[in-house]
A and B are shown apart, each in its own frame.
Chain A
Amino acid sequence: MKIAITNGRLVDPKHQIDARQDLYLADGRVAGVGQAPAGFQAEREIDARGLVVCPGLIDLSARPGKLETELKAAVAGGVTTLVCPPDLDPVLDEPELAERLVRQAADLGLARLLPLGALTQNLEGERLAEMAGLRQAGCIAFSQGKRPVLDTQALLRAFEYAATFGYAIWLQPQDYYLSRNGFAHDGEVGSRLGLTGIPVSAETVAIATYLTLAADTGVRLHLRRLSSAAGMAMVAKARAEGVAVTCDVGVHHLHLSEHDIGFFDTHARFDPPLRSLRDRDGLCAGVAAGTAALCSDHTPLDQDDKLVPFGEAKPGATGLELLLPLTLKWAAAAKLPLNAALAPVTSAPAAILGRDDLGHLGLGAQADICLFSAEEPWRVTPHNLRSAGKNTPFLGYEMAGRNKATLVAGQVVFDAL
């Protein structure tokens, strides 16, 4: 299928393009930018007048829930690639399980699903999972999801083993003991409301441990969902010193803080928790500086999971369909141009994944594309969200930026033009 996307505003952060240019796709790849390749005969032309044409969004953390529903939500939100953690049901600790999930996603033909394999068997933090087998089954790196590795020696062994084969390890830095029983930032609001706190040190202690082991073993380390300014500063410093570490931040953490808990609003319960305004500013600066990529941390939940007292509520928010507008909202507040706005959800995550065929629109890149209206306002309502999860602190808010069409590998998988 040969497709021409014409009259759009092409934004490609990796190549620093922001211009009115046409895009030509053939055989699922980008075949021409600005100029059609010789003899190109478009079978379909998409008129992108008034729309931004950019690489499909890459979401470094999304829980798939019911696969078809959530992958439909992904492409509706302009997300063409999503990484899912291994702490699903069942846990992704055997190659067959990962293979099945990858195949199910591929059969749906919607967004690309890249699973993280379990680092340890059943995520118990003791015995190593079959990493090579999991890798072959499609796991792109290894993780514990939300589960800890309590035994630091077991962690060192896991780092060593992964480094042996050149596999990356993705961990959420949160010390188990410093965070156990906690459910809110250990700070002003949590103290006032009597919510058991998770101190920033739960994050920084874990980062210090992981960075030390990463430096010793040479493993490629990715830190998932930072929540604190201090944590971000540690990662920036390590990167400046040449440590092969990357990180991401959940997009909600760029907008919200502990103060958004208000009167015990369970929609503001996140893991890691929303922290102080200073932390929020530190995270924003880290993303703007390119230290961190963004993810939706998509966690679709039932309504009942939030209709309980704050400490009993499940953490997380639906995110796949809010990643784009929340990224644009952050960039607008920070007065960033569109290239800089979209880098944390396109080129930056592609670099973390080590995929030079994703996250950009250069010649030969996968034709994963999203076409969105940068200005069109829309209201976040349960009806407007395709995800089964309607759980979001932004319910009722007006967002600017609405995805209109999504292509994955040159196929139109979402079309609201």
Chain B
Amino acid sequence: MHNPQLNSNGELIHLLSIEGLPRGILTHILDTAASFLGITDREVKKVPLLRGKSVFNLFFENSTRTRTTFEIAAKRLSADVLNLDITRSSTAKGETLLDTIDNLCSMHADMFVVRHASSGAPYLIADHLKRVGRDDIHVVNAGDGRHAHPTQGLLDMYTIRHFKKNFENLRVAIVGDILHSRVARSDIHALTTLGVPEVRAIGPQTLLPTDLGRMGVQVYHDMNEGLRDCDVVIMLRLQNERMNGALLPSAGEYFKHYGLTPAKLALAKPDAIVMHPGPMNRGVEIDSAVADGPQAVILDQVTFGIAVRMAVMSILAGN
């Protein structure tokens, strides 16, 4: 099957999902991000790689945080950035997703950063751009439904590589609501592609997708067992609406079994790092003592996130 993210030379033209990308592309993005990290520390935090280019942030679903990090990344590359909060404009007037895209194409966009509540929406957009002969416009998936959040997956990999140096001997646990998590899916694909030998998924059956084992992970329902000897612990955010009794009886009971406390973290390796895509629910999935503790690298993730998004955008613009 043709991978719509790659051109005929196997170069990245859209970033829609980690799935299906070769290890070389992932490593190239991480290496490029490393070169951008220094820029962030300079007095003049800009490079001219995207000068004259227009990046449109199309957020069909609200997310100030992710949108902001993309905006900062684009601006540091000297791009012009337009933020379109589409939840409140076009679609409310009955315009279809592709009508919106056609309109924006006419505004000389070079890149669409898309967040959408429906899994697969960025694929639809990329496919449409190809059909109308505008595949010079690059699409970056900034989160689609439960499907993928590839830049988050990449920044998580950057963080792991930064602290653990390589992927070959790691045991990584992903804990919590994997069913509804696009971050978890992207992390799983990235980890398995980069050669992590053991990826564990920990959660109650109500929050794990069917046939999860087919994605190359080992499933644990007992967190104590699952965390044992792990090098990396990735905690997932539990949305409030999951706690209304249908999937979980209460936040309290969830925390008891799946909340990361210092005692549970002690089961992992002594130098294990703790990650979280944010925003955190303290006392629901993570104890403050862990979130603010020495093993947490959650704020590093945010810093790396900007460099990774700069890397993705500059690589796409160059292909």
Contacts and interface: CB of A to CB of B under 8 A. Distances in A.
Interface of A: 186-188, 190-197, 199, 262-264, 304, 307-312
A260 to B, nearest CB: 10
15 contacts: A187-B211, A190-B210, A191-B209, A191-B211, A191-B215, A193-B147, A194-B146, A195-B146, A197-B209, A263-B127, A264-B123, A307-B124, A308-B96, A309-B97, A311-B119
Given A262-B1, A264-B120, A309-B97, A192 B185 contact: yes
Given A194-B182, A308-B97, A263 B4 contact: yes
Nearest to B20: A263
Given A199-B210, A263-B1, A192 B116 contact: no
Contacts, number: 74
Interface residues of B, number: 29
B100 to A, nearest CB: 12
Given A197-B209, A310-B120, 5 more contacts: A190-B209, A307-B128, A309-B119, A309-B120, A312-B118
A186 B212 CA distance: 11
B206 to A, nearest CB: 13
B145 interface: yes
Contacts of B147: 193-195
Contacts of A311: 118-120, 145
Nearest to A306: B124
Nearest to B189: A192
A309 B214 contact: no
Contacts of B214: 188, 191-192
For the complex of A and B, the 5 pairs showing the least CB-CB separation, nearest first, are A194-B146, A264-B120, A309-B118, A194-B147, A191-B209
A187 B96 contact: no
A192 B148 CA distance: 9
A197 B210 CA distance: 9
B19 interface: yes
Given A191-B211, A263-B4, A308 B124 contact: yes
Contacts of A187: 210-211
A310 B209 contact: no
A308 B97 CA distance: 7
A311 B116 CA distance: 12
A309 B3 CA distance: 18
Contact of A193 (B1, B120, B211): B120
